[in-house]
Amino acid sequence: MSTEATSLEDLRRQLAPAIADAAVFDGWSDAAVTAAAEQEDVDPAVAAFAFSGGAMAMIAAWIAACDEAMANEWPAEKLAQLKIRERIRTLVQFRLDYVTPQQEALVRALAIMAMPQNAPQALKLGWSSADLMWRLAGDTATDYNHYTKRTILSGIYAATLAVLAHDRSEAQADTRAFLERRIDGVMKFEKAKAQFLNRDFTGFSPSRFLGRLRYPAR
């Protein structure tokens, strides 16, 4: 092997980028695994065993490789210099840039992940990536916000990937604009939610409230 792999998981991450390159032409197939193994000087039989789970195993490894590259490029201490909106935008944009060179492989991967039998794993993979992004961004929420933030972000990322898959604009300008709109919407939602939850109800008068229901202001 060209690099030492201490486990099958290490081997999967090592081969995943090369498999994605091959998937542009061969799809997420055994042929792509063989091509990647030959490129990385890995025994094809060992590579085939590592990806015996089929296309979803290959795609999951590609996502894991993206997670790892993102965390290495944008550790929490580096992101801390940015505002929270920019932290999230930067992390999502890094992931988009990471997969753009294999745009055709992305198209095929999304089609495979959308199959009913693969949807549960696809959702789990999206959640995991969203969780990593929020943790890198410094999120420490443990209440319901922990779940809502990750659910919303995984939805944004999935939708933006779908746009990227068919984006033929220069420098993926359409995808970048789409991402900005989605993040802007989320930031407005978070601001409104915070204002609602932090509203001072100490001056609330039940009798005045009921009176207004009975006699609406004209």
- Burial of residue 107, with CB atoms counted within 10 A of its CB: 0-12 exposed, 13-18 middle, 19 or more buried: middle
Q: Is the pLDDT reported for residue 188 higher than 90?
A: no
pLDDT band for position 3 (cuts 50, 70, 90): very low
Lowest mean pLDDT among 40-54, 62-76, 93-107, 179-193: 179-193
Q: Is the pLDDT reported for residue 5 higher than 80?
A: no
Enumerate the domain spans of the chain: 1-52, 75-196
Maximum C-alpha span of the chain: 81
pLDDT band for position 112 (cuts 50, 70, 90): very high
Q: Mean pLDDT over residues 204-215, rounded?
A: 52
Q: How far is CA 139 from CA 87, 130, 136, 164, 184, in A?
A: 11, 11, 7, 27, 18
pLDDT band for position 190 (cuts 50, 70, 90): low
Q: What is the pLDDT of residues 25-56, one digit of tens each?
A: 999 999 999 999 999 999 999 999 999 999 99
Q: Mean pLDDT over residues 50-77, rounded?
A: 97
Q: Which two three-digit tokens encode residue 92?
A: 């999502």
Q: Is the pLDDT reported for residue 217 higher than 80?
A: no
Q: What phi, psi does 3 have (nearest 5°)? A: -130, 155
pLDDT band for position 98 (cuts 50, 70, 90): very high
Q: Which residue has the higher pLDDT, 214 or 33?
A: 33
Note the helical H segments in the chain.
Answer: 8-26, 30-39, 44-50, 55-73, 76-79, 84-99, 103-113, 119-136, 144-165, 173-197, 206-214
Q: Which two three-digit tokens encode residue 159?
A: 């939708």
What is the spatial distance between Cα 62 and Cα 215, in angstroms, rounded to a whole number? Answer: 62
Closest to 158 measured CA to CA, from 207, 197, 109: 109
What is the spatial distance between Cα 68 and Cα 94, in angstroms, rounded to a whole number? Answer: 12
Closest to 186 measured CA to CA, from 217, 163, 156: 156
SS3 42: coil
What is the spatial distance between Cα 67 and Cα 58, in angstroms, rounded to a whole number? Answer: 14
Q: Which residue has the higher pLDDT, 137 or 194?
A: 137
Q: How far is CA 15 from CA 36, 37, 58, 200, in A?
A: 6, 7, 9, 55
Q: Mean pLDDT over residues 131-140, rounded?
A: 95
In percent, how much of the chain has pLDDT > 90?
74
What is the spatial distance between Cα 175 and Cα 11, in angstroms, rounded to a whole number? Answer: 32
Q: Is the pLDDT reported for residue 198 higher than 80?
A: no
Question: What's the pLDDT at 212?
Answer: 54
Determine if the pTM surpasses 0.85.
Answer: no
Closest to 29 measured CA to CA, from 14, 12, 48, 11: 48
